[in-house]
Amino acid sequence: MGRDYILIAALLAGIVAPFLSVGNAESWPTAAMALWIVALAAAAILLLPLSASWAAPLAIGGAAVGAVALYLLLDAGARGLAAPGLWLAMIALAFLVWRAMERSAALGARTKSRFLDLAAPILLGIWIVYLWQAIIVGFDVPHVLLPPPTEIAGAIFSSTGTLVADFVQTFIRSMIPGYAIGCGAGFLVGVLVDRIPFFQRGLLPLGNLASALPIVAVAPIMVMWFGFDWQSKAAVVVIMTFFPMLVNTIAGLAALGRFELDLMRTYAASYGQTLRMARLPAAMPFIFNALKVNSTLALIGAIVAEFFGTPIVGMGFRISAEVGRMNIAMVWATIVVAAVTGSAAYGAISLVERSLTFWHPSLRKVA
Amino acid sequence: MAKIELLGDRDPGLRGETVVSAGRPVVEVAGLNLVFQTADAPVTALADVNLTVNRGDFISLIGPSGCGKTTLLRVIADLERATGGAIKVNGVSPEEARLKRAYGYVFQASALYPWRTVIRNVTLPLEIMGLAKAERLERARRVIELVDLSGFERKFPWQLSGGMQQRVSIARALSFDPELLLMDEPFGALDEIIRDRLNEQLHQLWERTGKTVIFVTHSIPEAVFLSTRIVVMSPRPGRIVDIVESRLPRERNFEIRETAEFAEIAHRLRVGLRGGHVDE
Amino acid sequence: MSETYLATRPAPPRRWGRLAGGKTFPVAAVVFVLIVVWYLGAIGLNSGRVIDGYDADDDMRNKWTTSDLIADTLSMNRPVLPAPHQVLVELDKSVLETAPTSNRSLLYHAWITLSAAMVGFAMGTVLGIVLAVGIVHVRTLERALMPWVIASQTIPILAIAPMIIVVLGAIGFVGLVPKAIISAYLCFFPVTIGMVKGLTSPELLQLDLIRTYSATPSQVFWKLRWPASMPFLFPSLKIAVALAVVGAIVGELPTGASAGLGARLLAGSYYGQTVQIWSALVLASLVAGLSVAAVGWAERLTLRRMGGRT
């Protein structure tokens, strides 16, 4: 094990930082300094050879304490390039956070705990949000350009009603019906076309081509046909989700191995039996791949379609309206809702996938 | 040792009326030809093949890659269509035999469905044939016991070793109690130690159930150990060069590999495979 | 053993059978069916307004024939669904008969969109490759960053395109750059995922072998991982380039840009010029299709040089 250069750099930077100017804050508040010393002590202890189950919590704890310390410093008025002490300390903190992520990743790998596996990305996420807040406040970035996380959180809490109404309009009334119809139709056509190899060979290249087209551009046409309300948005979602599902269904139905197909033939199994018992289960990984891809596409489609005219509710409408009013915090609030919705949908599908395709090599651990 | 019952005696009507009495030919092949049309040029996979397999025989087809042994097996199984000549399985065409579920097929790979447990893999053919659940499970448990895998019913295929997976595949082929077993290099992917053990088990299985087996292999010791008759084939075009009747006793064990008769038969096979003359 | 699993189809009869057995004829047949359906759809969807027009006209009321209906539905000025030949005529007018430099030429607009898409594609690809290299070589990055890369796709970037345009406009970036950024954001994900798969595709066996040659990490990368990742890179590039075109188009929608295919779509929808919308749509599809084909051509070239089977 070589020297831990990252920790050494962190310690050096962390020790030098308090000696540099902190701008308007004049000097470090006592609480901030005390906490910073604790953080540095943690970093120093980490230089010792510790087992991961000690190192990880120590690093995380040290980083957390350091983060609070620097936030107190920010609060006291340290701003911009006049406060190099703050930024040097921030760099030291970054190195410590890096070690914290690494140690938790190592611990997660060692104990094979699913929960600990999430520790590293969660730490990275928290660090990014923290840094975001620090930079916006620390460099006095205009909030219309990029609002700090605190302001976005404020917007979410103060406009919960609006956000919920938008969510219902876009997700529940436009996206879900469109997703269900699009995926269902894609699957059905894929199964029907399976019987007619001629059409299959014709549809597959076209389906691939259609998946590449900017389908969202048909939104104005859908508005013309179906009106301003959720129906036109659902129609856009149907078209967007149809082709990936069709292509994946066709590919999935072809996925069953040669031997397995011959086996069914030796049992004199009918087409329906072969489809139901062998080819459809083998197609599940492909179908779930399409379902996951489609969940993202559907959300995007529903939102973007709302740029083209919508009753005065909906996430897409909210975004374009608030952009026009330069109320960027509200725009970000809507984005957060959209991102959480999208992740939740993707996660839900992944859970179902895990239970239905548990047998696929990509999903199972070696027994 | 697992208690072996001759399933076929219990309900002869499972697959239909065609029951082959002892001594009657199960497979008759006369002048069989198979020519494949490929992108480059036609390939003659089988040329003028003549073979008769009687009930209770254990026939091995041995030869180098491309000699048509797997193709011949697949024609018998109605997985390929011959382009010339005649073939009868159980007295009817291969297609009819297949529709009557007259044989069980074991592939080189186990071809088990990974989303089904062992016991549900074994009941797969029984489900297709429409048996009731209770009967399916009973039959499945019996054949699983036959291949010495009791206790593994609820495991998934990927939780088993390669040798065990092939045994499940064999159990599956036996579950609906066909008269004929077609096996295409079932042990080819396994190491020699496992292979020897499985050869022994297969031999005991054959001896006790009295099935007819047509077995494709690359391995001379395997062919000599298992078979009553060995068919030597050669490629380009695929044809039979020699048929060797085995003088070994019907009941065999491991030590028989060390005997002189074994070596003699193996020698004759080796010569045949190299395409030289056969010494009388 | 491969010969034994040769195709068991009987040899198809010459010419006609081979044509039907291939891919061109089925695709052409399906396209033909789609065009017929399109015509029927145009007649069907437009007939409502045409019949209303007949009823309002004293000369035509109750005296129109089916052939009148067909002729009129297929040549409306502002149809609900334009007929294919109408779209072709409009395309011909705005592509072939207008000077490419004038801002009424669809080719000019296509170029605006395409240039933004290409810049975004380049940026996204570079970012994706850099991220992938980092993820493959630094274990911590893999654990901490990968979940966020995947989560980034749940942020509907297309939905926040307006905000990006406005915000970047406020600090002085207008025109191509904001659209390129949107395209890049859409591109980097498939490239990252594909490259990570590709860079980790060499088997353990091959990695061990090259280490027995005392290869430095950089040699391992350039001689093994990079070439091995090519078959994974190109399918991702195809997806990415299509997404880049989508990104550029959507980037033009929200703030009423005046140039580009998205702008034409918007203009058509504002002024009810259906045929204009459809011709812009067709050209956008062509641009996307040609871009994907170009990447496919690059793929065949590269893989052929690497000895791969095309």
One domain, residues C158 and C289: yes
**Residue A169: DSSP 8-state:** I
One domain, residues C162 and C264: yes
Of A98, A213, A342, the CB nearest to C288: A213
Say if residues B86 and B48 touch (Cβ distance below 8 Å): no
Q: CA nearest B159 in A: which residue?
A: A367
CA distance C102 to chain A (A): 23
**Between chains, do C274 and A224 touch, taking CB under 8 Å as contact?**
yes
Tell me the mean pLDDT per 10 residues along chain A, length 367. Answer: 78 87 80 89 86 85 90 84 86 90 83 78 90 88 84 91 90 93 95 86 80 77 83 90 90 89 93 93 91 88 80 84 84 89 88 88 59
Say if residues A330 and A154 touch (Cβ distance below 8 Å): no
Q: CA C162 to CA A325: how far, in whole Å? A: 12
One domain, residues C184 and C124: yes
Is position A148 within any domain?
A: no
The distance from CA A71 to its chain's CA centroid, rounded to whole angstroms, is 27
**Residue A51: DSSP 8-state:** -
CA distance A276 to chain B (A): 11
In chain B, which residues have their Cβ closer than 8 Å to the Cβ of C11? 37
Domain encompassing residue C301: 106-305
Is position C36 within any domain?
A: yes
| ipTM summary value | 0.82
B186–chain A Cβ distance below 8 A for any pair: no
For tokens 């107190």, what's the residue?
A72
Is position A289 within any domain?
A: yes
One domain, residues A208 and A251: yes
**Residue B34: DSSP 8-state:** E
Query: What local confidence, expressed as pLDDT, does residue C309 receive?
Result: 55
Task: Please report all neighbours of B, defined by 3+ CB atom pairs within 8 A.
Answer: A, C
Query: What local confidence, expressed as pLDDT, does residue B168 receive?
Result: 95
CATH number of the domain bearing residue A217: 1.10.3720.10
Is position B241 within any domain?
A: yes
**Between chains, do C167 and A343 touch, taking CB under 8 Å as contact?**
no
Is position C37 within any domain?
A: yes
First-residue to last-residue Cα distance in chain C: 23
The closest of A132, A129, A104 to A118, measured between CA atoms, is A104
A1–chain B Cβ distance below 8 A for any pair: no
Query: What local confidence, expressed as pLDDT, does residue C20 receive?
Result: 58
Number of domains in chain C: 2
**Between chains, do C6 and B65 touch, taking CB under 8 Å as contact?**
no
Is position C134 within any domain?
A: yes
**Between chains, do B81 and C8 touch, taking CB under 8 Å as contact?**
yes
CA distance C6 to chain B (A): 7
One domain, residues A59 and A162: no
What share of chain C in percent tops pLDDT 70? 91
B80–chain C Cβ distance below 8 A for any pair: yes
B94–chain A Cβ distance below 8 A for any pair: no
**Between chains, do A266 and B98 touch, taking CB under 8 Å as contact?**
yes
Q: CA nearest C5 in B: which residue?
A: B71
One domain, residues C148 and C40: no
Query: What local confidence, expressed as pLDDT, does residue A365 receive?
Result: 53
Is position A348 within any domain?
A: yes
Of A257, A266, A364, the CB nearest to B77: A266
Q: How many CB atoms lie within 10 A of CB A265?
A: 14
Q: CA nearest B158 in A: which residue?
A: A367
B276–chain A Cβ distance below 8 A for any pair: no
Is position C89 within any domain?
A: no
A267–chain B Cβ distance below 8 A for any pair: yes
B104–chain A Cβ distance below 8 A for any pair: yes
The closest of C192, C172, C177 to C120, measured between CA atoms, is C177
- Signed CA dihedral, A138, A141, A143, A149: sign only: negative
Is position B211 within any domain?
A: yes
Is position C97 within any domain?
A: no
Phi, psi for B87 (deg, rounded to 5) = -150, 135
One domain, residues A127 and A225: no
CA distance B252 to chain A (A): 31
**Which regions of chain B does DSSP assign to beta strands (E)?**
25-36, 43-54, 58-62, 84-89, 103-106, 180-184, 212-217, 229-234, 239-245
A276–chain B Cβ distance below 8 A for any pair: no
3-state secondary structure C206-247: HHHHHHHCCCCHHHHHHHHHHHHHHHHHHHHHHHHHHHHHHH
Number of domains in chain A: 2
Of A121, A316, A338, the CB nearest to C147: A121
A199–chain C Cβ distance below 8 A for any pair: yes
Q: CA A237 to CA C42: how far, in whole Å? A: 22
Q: CA A126 to CA A104: how far, in whole Å? A: 14
CATH number of the domain bearing residue C201: 1.10.3720.10
Give exposure, A44-55, as e/b (b: 16+ Cβ within 10 Å). Answer: bebeeeeebeeb
In chain B, which residues have their Cβ closer than 8 Å to the Cβ of C1? 65, 70, 108
Q: What is the mean pLDDT of residues C149-161?
A: 76
Say if residues C210 and C256 touch (Cβ distance below 8 Å): no
CA distance B67 to chain C (A): 9
**Which alpha helices (DSSP H) does chain A contain, by range?**
5-16, 30-46, 52-75, 84-111, 114-117, 119-138, 149-158, 160-167, 176-194, 197-212, 219-226, 230-253, 258-266, 271-274, 280-305, 315-324, 328-356
Last residue of a domain, one of A110, A141, A172: A141
Of A257, A359, A360, the CB nearest to B111: A257
In chain A, which residues have their Cβ closer than 8 Å to the Cβ of B125? 267
In chain A, which residues have their Cβ closer than 8 Å to the Cβ of B73? none
Query: What local confidence, expressed as pLDDT, does residue C48 receive?
Result: 81
**Between chains, do B43 and C11 touch, taking CB under 8 Å as contact?**
no
Is position B10 within any domain?
A: no
Residues from C in contact with B at Cβ < 8 Å = 1, 3-4, 6-8, 10-11
Disruptive mutation site among B113, B117, B126 for chain A (greatest number of A CBs within 10 Å): B113
Q: Which residues contact C179 (CB under 8 A, 6 or more apart)?
A: C113, C116, C117, C120, C165, C247, C248, C251, C252, C260
One domain, residues A116 and A161: no
CA distance B81 to chain C (A): 8
What pLDDT digit, counting tens, does each position of B111-151 carry? Answer: 999 999 999 999 999 999 999 999 999 999 999 998 989 99
Q: How many CB atoms lie within 10 A of CB C176?
A: 18
Task: Please report all neighbours of A, defined by 3+ CB atom pairs within 8 A.
Answer: B, C
Is position A49 within any domain?
A: yes
Of C153, C163, C277, the CB nearest to A220: C277
Domain encompassing residue A98: 5-141
- Dihedral through CA C234, CA C240, CA C245, CA C251, nearest 10? -160
A55–chain C Cβ distance below 8 A for any pair: no
One domain, residues C141 and C71: no
Which of A248-262, B52-66, C88-102, C283-297 is predicted with the least confidence, judged by mean pLDDT? C88-102
Cα separation values, C183 from A233, A352, B264, C177, C244, Å: 23, 32, 75, 10, 4
Cα separation values, A213 from A210, A243, C105, C245, Å: 5, 10, 21, 8
Under the banding of pLDDT at 50, 70 and 90, the label for residue C18 is low
For tokens 């406020």, what's the residue?
C170
CATH number of the domain bearing residue B33: 3.40.50.300
Q: C167: which 2 tokens?
A: 């915000």
Task: Please report all neighbours of C, defined by 3+ CB atom pairs within 8 A.
Answer: A, B
- Dihedral through CA C243, CA C248, CA C252, CA C253, nearest 10? 0
One domain, residues C260 and C162: yes
Is position C95 within any domain?
A: no
Domain encompassing residue B240: 25-102+181-192+200-280
**Residue B243: DSSP 8-state:** E
Is position B135 within any domain?
A: no
**Between chains, do C31 and A212 touch, taking CB under 8 Å as contact?**
no
Q: CA B225 to CA B265: how far, in whole Å? A: 10
Cα angle C17, C23, C24 (rounded to 5 degrees) comes to: 90
What angle in degrees, to the nearest 10, is found between the helix axes of C274-305 and C261-270? 160
The answer for B 101-130 residues in CB contact with C (under 8 A) is 108
Last residue of a domain, one of C15, C47, C81: C81
Number of domains in chain B: 1
One domain, residues C46 and C194: no
Of A144, A198, A199, the CB nearest to C170: A144
CA distance B105 to chain C (A): 16
One domain, residues C248 and C140: yes
In chain B, which residues have their Cβ closer than 8 Å to the Cβ of C7? 36-38
One domain, residues C261 and C152: yes
**Between chains, do B113 and A257 touch, taking CB under 8 Å as contact?**
no
A363–chain B Cβ distance below 8 A for any pair: no
Q: CA nearest C266 in A: which residue?
A: A220
Is position B31 within any domain?
A: yes
One domain, residues C202 and C114: yes
Of C4, C10, C11, the CB nearest to B74: C4
Is position B3 within any domain?
A: no
Q: CA nearest A320 in C: which residue?
A: C162
Of A201, A218, A319, the CB nearest to C23: A201
Q: CA nearest A266 in B: which residue?
A: B98
Q: Which residues of chain B have pLDDT under 70?
A: 1-23, 276-280
- Dihedral through CA C175, CA C181, CA C183, CA C186, nearest 10? -160
Please state the pTM of the whole predicted model. 0.81
One domain, residues A174 and A98: no
**Between chains, do B107 and A267 touch, taking CB under 8 Å as contact?**
no
